[in-house]
Chains A and B, each alone.
Chain A
């Protein structure tokens, strides 16, 4: 099940420092939303507020609301652990657990929620998740080998398999291809295209061609200067952003004039 996310008047602070200011946007279900912009504009910071991962950093806090189907993720009765369980995340660098086998990596999140899972169910889940991540054929004969023995691209797809094994509502991807070679990047991009039929996907990328290739809608973030907060400049259909954006700075950025 994919869900819709509404962000309203969101400010993100680190201590007293306002890192990202006044974001309002809607993320549609079963679509890919790309966040683009120059380094330091706060797009990764913003992404992390969608599953409350920014709370790992001391003194980080937000104002405003992030609603999933009308439920505020920062509401007092909401459990941050449950938020992260329902909003999966894939990181910049592939991070399979080095001490676990491929199979255990896929099951890592599932086992947290449901310890007594039967072996048959577990096998099914491993197979379907690895199929979902287009990795099954490459690893089906070595499921008990450590995940760190795979190539970078395979590791990243293993991390995606691990993230979708818990059947999240939304999948966040923080520059998932920046540490990968071009061939692996294409594999991941193909996978994103397939996953959007089931998940709401938000992807941060530095690569504008990638944003144009994979996303349905694109949000452009910018920053006025160091020490200033990052802001959402505009958000629209990807084709519109790349062909006829309404803001001058967006046009400058996507045409490669800065950033």
Chain B
């Protein structure tokens, strides 16, 4: 039997095996290394615009940030006058995004509850499918829809904050549904069954057990959805219009928002200063305003993103 016979390695067999195990496949090695470099390179390449963008916005915008810039509006500011600010745009963004959140969150969360807790059959399947399709609606189409809707109710040329909020809701609802659905699915079934076993009705189980368990995740989902729509420009441009004054009433009159303000200032270009550049007239003040607003906007978006992720990390219960 072969097992009883010893086969000590000979010098020749050792050499043969060594050449086998160290046999370099230069071609394959090269391909492997090239692809590794390309894959790392792809990631590095993607970081270039991110870094360039953050740097450009910060370096161009930081000089314009001041207390005046944050607390004044553009009312009666013309030409190269550097005394205006973005207060009206900040208020507009907060009010319109807030309204959109008020509309989207109940609908979004309830739909997610429907899909996770009740959804069976054709209706649930089509809701899932169309939520996905809705994610892909171009933002400008959402703006046109809101305008068309309010034109039907109030006649043409109506422009006020609520229209923009409706437009943003169309964009926001699918995002809220998607992320909340994921969060609700993470709640283990044992928790639900434990509640049923105690005789708790289903709706109370959902409110007290499922939502309570996933509240951190839901908050994250909502914050990320807000971050997603707070920078939307096109729908607000068509639905809310522009203004230079403070308007805190979303049911009447045009409102300014940060992204629209940035665009508006950008498209104004250079101002003419008859006496050259001076303290009261800066030729490129509109561009500086645009960068300043962009910086405030990007800080808002990043804060929402970071807070969103931290909320989920810190406050979510440890589920195994």
Chain A positions within 8 Å of B, measured between CB atoms, are 3-4, 28-31, 67-71, 73, 77-79, 81-83, 86, 112-113, 169, 216-217, 237
**Apart from the given pairs A3-B13, A68-B17, A216-B3, 20 other A-B contacts in the complex at a CB distance below 8 Å:** A3-B17, A28-B2, A28-B5, A29-B2, A69-B13, A70-B9, A70-B13, A71-B14, A73-B21, A77-B22, A78-B21, A79-B21, A79-B22, A81-B25, A81-B28, A82-B21, A82-B25, A86-B21, A113-B25, A237-B4
Chain B positions within 8 Å of A, measured between CB atoms, are 1-5, 7, 9, 13-14, 16-18, 20-25, 28
Can you offer 21 A-B residue contacts whose CB atoms are under 8 A?
A3-B17, A4-B7, A28-B5, A31-B2, A69-B13, A70-B9, A70-B14, A71-B17, A73-B21, A77-B22, A78-B21, A78-B22, A79-B23, A81-B25, A82-B20, A82-B22, A112-B28, A113-B25, A169-B17, A217-B3, A237-B3
| Residues of chain B within 8 A of A29, CB atoms compared | 2, 7
| Alpha-carbon separation in the docked complex, A83 to B23 (Å) | 10
Given A4-B7, A28-B7, A70-B9: A216 touches B20 (CB 8 Å cut-off): no
Closest Cβ of chain A to B22, distance in Å, is 5
State the majority secondary structure of interface residues on B. Answer: helix
Closest Cβ of chain B to A26, distance in Å, is 8
| Residues of chain B within 8 A of A83, CB atoms compared | 21
| Residues of chain B within 8 A of A30, CB atoms compared | 2
Closest Cβ of chain A to B27, distance in Å, is 8
Closest Cβ of chain B to A32, distance in Å, is 9
| Residues of chain B within 8 A of A82, CB atoms compared | 20-23, 25
The answer to whether B17 and A69 touch across the interface, beta carbons within 8 angstroms, is: yes
The answer to whether A71 and B28 touch across the interface, beta carbons within 8 angstroms, is: no
| Residues of chain B within 8 A of A169, CB atoms compared | 17, 20
| Alpha-carbon separation in the docked complex, A82 to B20 (Å) | 7
The answer to whether B22 and A31 touch across the interface, beta carbons within 8 angstroms, is: no
The 4 tightest CB contacts between A and B, nearest first, are A70-B14, A70-B9, A69-B17, A69-B9
Closest Cβ of chain B to A88, distance in Å, is 13
